[in-house]
A and B are shown apart, each in its own frame.
Chain A
Amino acid sequence: MFRIVDKKELCEKIHRFRIEVPRLVEKAKAGQFVILRQHDRGERVPMSIGGLDKKNGLLTVVIQEVGKTSGSMNRMKTGDSFADVVGPLGMSSHVEKFGHCVCIGGGVGIPPIYPIAQALKEAGNQVTTIIGARSKSLLIYEEELTSASHRLLISTDDGSYGTHGFVTTVLQNLLDAGEKVDMVISIGPVPMMKAVVASTRLPKIKTFVSLNPIMVDGTGMCGACRVTVGGKTKFACVDGPDFDGHEVDFDEMTKRLKMYAKYEKIAYERFLHEGCRVADQIKQL
């Protein structure tokens, strides 16, 4: 059992957990992920590492409620425990001296950008971070990223804070202003990553994206997390999660993420209004 030492709502439907897993924290590197299971009937859900407190052995994950499992996890409290925390899984992000790095995060893709930005900065890079949200009240991790990067730029879809527009608007502004960018790493919703890759394709900037396909074991055993990269099938859990963004087949991934939509909807609805007749609904599928 893995105890939640601290739990906080960052904004609507997004919660931050600090969990005691000393050995995992000792070994983990920026860009890796963990798999959580809340209880014995629970699903295994992958979550990015959103911070590592090596001194106290604490792992930070930030969970957005999108369905039953994430919803149920976000109702856990300080002092509760997860049945399983597996990891660190996946390869760590490419951290070397690139020069000027731009880290781009959106939604729950922002927290994992934090340890990566930190690591890139430590490796001697100039780090610009761009984060975005729909509106000011949904923006998370501003404070952390201010300290982890040389420059933090913000965008909101509704213009309530920072640049009015998307993270890609900010990126395009940088590029248009003639800034030299040596490497981009982008984590967030698929459409966002796809848009980032579109902006860096022509100027031929090395761009990494962190993929989040559906996973089960996270150790290369099941093949659920298959993604097509450069025309070849890769397993995101062991070959990734970071890949060369210019090579990724995002459309295929988008479709694969919808594979269980019918089931997920039923489970979520039942979770939200407990007691409805789920069995009947399943038969009707």
Chain B
Amino acid sequence: MTDNEKNKPLEKKERMKIPRQKMPEQDAKERIRNFKEVPHGLTPELAMIEARRCLACPKPPCIGGCPVEVNIPEFIRLVTEGDFVAAARVIKRTNALPAICGRVCPQEEQCEKVCILTKKYNSVGIGNLERFVADFERERGEIEIPQLPPPTGKKVAIVGAGPAGLTVAADLAQMGHKVVIYEALHKAGGVLIYGIPEFRLPKAIVASEVDYLRKLGVEIYTSYVIGKLDTVDELFEQGFNAVFVGTGAGLPNFMQIDGENLNGIYSSNEFLTRSNLMAGYDFPNYDTPIFAGENVAVLGGGNTAMDSVRTSLRLGAMNAYIVYRRSRNEMPARKEEIHHAEQEGVQFMFLTNPIRYIGDDNGWVKGMECVKMELGEPDASGRRRPVEMKGSNFILPVDTVVVAVGNSSNPLIPQTTPGLKTNKWGNIEVDPKTQMTSRPGVFAGGDIVTGGATVILAAGAGKVAARAIHKYVMGIPFDEPAKEEAKVK
């Protein structure tokens, strides 16, 4: 394509003829032997071609499909013009974590699902483009630190440095408030750093977004467990004007079946934390060991299960199974992850449920008794309920099992904060308009409120909370628009 051709305005029909550009990626055989990122990212060339597929709809549905309402057509237009940095800044007006969201958002369920092209031609690769411009900006060192308003003299404490907490921090810092983050682990990032593997989200990217916060003047204390070192009430006593709780859903669920405490049986949280946060895959260069045997079964069908099973392959598993009690259609994991797992040789056992583990004399798991399931009537979730098929029992030989059947909320903050209302699942109750809890001045958002959800929903809750916290500390009634709000990027 010559420069001339590139810049020529295209007719709608011509645009629709361009096929969706494929993301170049590491070959499956190669990548299961390393922890490097799987997709290489679009080249500037590919990005510009992909961007030209956008029809620039007059009433773009994609914006409404994005939980933080990124101005998608606008940033894509800037990509067609080759102004990638400007494109990145358009996204950053409403999303502080574009390099992360471009990689891990379930776009096919959000912006790309409602794209006009979706039905007939495959949607525009919005996520891939988002990732491209964010990477471009970062790699060129073009990240801009906005001019901060004069300090308001108000102080806000944030508990938990996951996407929810980080978003609140970024927004409040840009409104002139003093922000301090307290994080229980020794690194900030929440699930982004301990859960999602390096091959899907390089930790350097999370570190760079965290670094950006520090540049905005946010103080971050790691290895600081709120509820143990300071309680929420003590934070107020220390002079904080508001507290945001973004502690996530970090309490692993087990299935309560026989033999679950045998050696070799992990929660996905432990398995992924050992591998990611502690860099166990690089043992003994790092000190924390991790074990993945020859026959690894991962229980569950979500992103966490896909991440665990793909990690197990990279740690050397010969047979890596996904054991899921429903069918393929009900799997909650992102399509791309399922697809990548398949390419890498993961074996899927659908409509299968474990009922007991069998151990050897040294307490190691050596087998898992399973039953086949069939789908019955729809249950409360609207999905067809799996029912056991009598007499279909069989034993799967395994030496490692990763239980990835969901997480519950950590009770530490509710237990140590009198008057903080939670629902029957232990999630903190908030007013959805403000994210304020039953305790005035205490706000919450992300997985601790919704239960395990997504990065962008956590960030979205963080944005709502930041606006409300601003009003709260400045003494502006919640139903009154705040003048300063416009400044929030």
Our pick among B224, B270, B285 for the contact of A222 (Cβ within 8 Å) is B270
Would you call A224 and B228 a contact (CB within 8 A)? no
A266 close to B (CB within 8 Å): yes
| CA of A88 to CA of B284, assembled, Å | 29
Our pick among B184, B230, B287 for the contact of A217 (Cβ within 8 Å) is B184
Residues of A within 8 A of B291 (CB): 259-260, 263
Q: Mark B165-201, 1 if CB is under 8 A from A, else 0.
A: 0000000000000000000111000000000000000
- In the complex, the chain A residue whose C-beta lies closest to that of B267 is A223
- State the Cβ distance, B259 to closest chain A Cβ, in Å: 10
B261 close to A (CB within 8 Å): yes
> Which DSSP category, helix, strand, loop or mixed, fits chain A's interface?
mixed
Stretch of B16-24, B249-257, B387-395 on the interface side: B249-257
| CA of A187 to CA of B278, assembled, Å | 29
B103 close to A (CB within 8 Å): no
Residues of A within 8 A of B261 (CB): 226-228, 233, 252, 256
- In the complex, the chain A residue whose C-beta lies closest to that of B195 is A221
Within 8 A of B (CB), among A235-261: 238, 252, 255-256, 258-260
| CA of A151 to CA of B283, assembled, Å | 47
- State the Cβ distance, A77 to closest chain B Cβ, in Å: 20
Residues of A within 8 A of B222 (CB): 84
Q: Mark A200-229, 1 if CB is under 8 A from B, else 0.
A: 000000000000000011011111101110
Would you call A270 and B284 a contact (CB within 8 A)? yes
Given A86-B225, A228-B261, A256-B263: A221 and B287 within 8 A (CB)? no
| CA of A227 to CA of B261, assembled, Å | 8
Given A220-B251, A221-B273, A252-B363: A83 and B229 within 8 A (CB)? no
| CA of A24 to CA of B254, assembled, Å | 32
| CA of A266 to CA of B289, assembled, Å | 10
B410 close to A (CB within 8 Å): yes
Would you call B410 and A219 a contact (CB within 8 A)? yes
Within 8 A of A (CB), among B219-250: 222-225, 228-230, 250
Stretch of A37-45, A113-121, A132-140, A165-173 on the interface side: A37-45
Would you call A216 and B254 a contact (CB within 8 A)? no
- In the complex, the chain A residue whose C-beta lies closest to that of B415 is A238
| CA of A42 to CA of B288, assembled, Å | 7
Would you call B289 and A221 a contact (CB within 8 A)? no
Residues of B within 8 A of A264 (CB): 289
Residues of B within 8 A of A68 (CB): 284, 287
Would you call A222 and B185 a contact (CB within 8 A)? no
- In the complex, the chain B residue whose C-beta lies closest to that of A41 is B286
Q: Mark B273-316, 1 if CB is under 8 A from A, else 0.
A: 11000110001111111010000000000000000000000000
Our pick among B230, B256, B273, B411 for the contact of A216 (Cβ within 8 Å) is B273
Would you call A219 and B269 a contact (CB within 8 A)? no
Our pick among A83, A216, A278 for the contact of B284 (Cβ within 8 Å) is A278
Q: Mark A4-19, 1 if CB is under 8 A from B, else 0.
A: 0000000000000000
Within 8 A of B (CB), among A125-172: none
Given A89-B228, A221-B252: A42 and B287 within 8 A (CB)? yes
Residues of A within 8 A of B288 (CB): 43-44, 216
B112 close to A (CB within 8 Å): no
- In the complex, the chain A residue whose C-beta lies closest to that of B249 is A221
B447 close to A (CB within 8 Å): no
Our pick among B229, B260, B278 for the contact of A43 (Cβ within 8 Å) is B278
Our pick among A37, A43, A69, A219 for the contact of B184 (Cβ within 8 Å) is A219
A196 close to B (CB within 8 Å): no
Given A221-B269, A221-B410, A267-B283: A233 and B254 within 8 A (CB)? yes
Within 8 A of A (CB), among B95-123: none
Q: Mark A176-200, 1 if CB is under 8 A from B, else 0.
A: 0000000000000000000000000
Residues of B within 8 A of A75 (CB): none
- State the Cβ distance, B342 to closest chain A Cβ, in Å: 28
Chain B CB within 10 Å, residue with most, of A24, A233, A263: A263
Residues of A within 8 A of B260 (CB): 233
B412 close to A (CB within 8 Å): yes
- State the Cβ distance, B128 to closest chain A Cβ, in Å: 32
Our pick among A85, A88, A233, A258 for the contact of B263 (Cβ within 8 Å) is A258
B362 close to A (CB within 8 Å): yes
- New contact pairs (17) apart from A86-B225, A263-B283, CB-CB < 8 Å: A43-B287, A87-B229, A88-B228, A88-B229, A89-B225, A216-B274, A216-B288, A219-B250, A219-B412, A221-B251, A222-B252, A233-B261, A256-B363, A260-B291, A266-B284, A267-B284, A278-B284
9 of the cross-chain contacts (CB-CB < 8 Å) are A88-B228, A217-B273, A221-B250, A221-B269, A222-B252, A223-B266, A233-B256, A255-B263, A260-B289
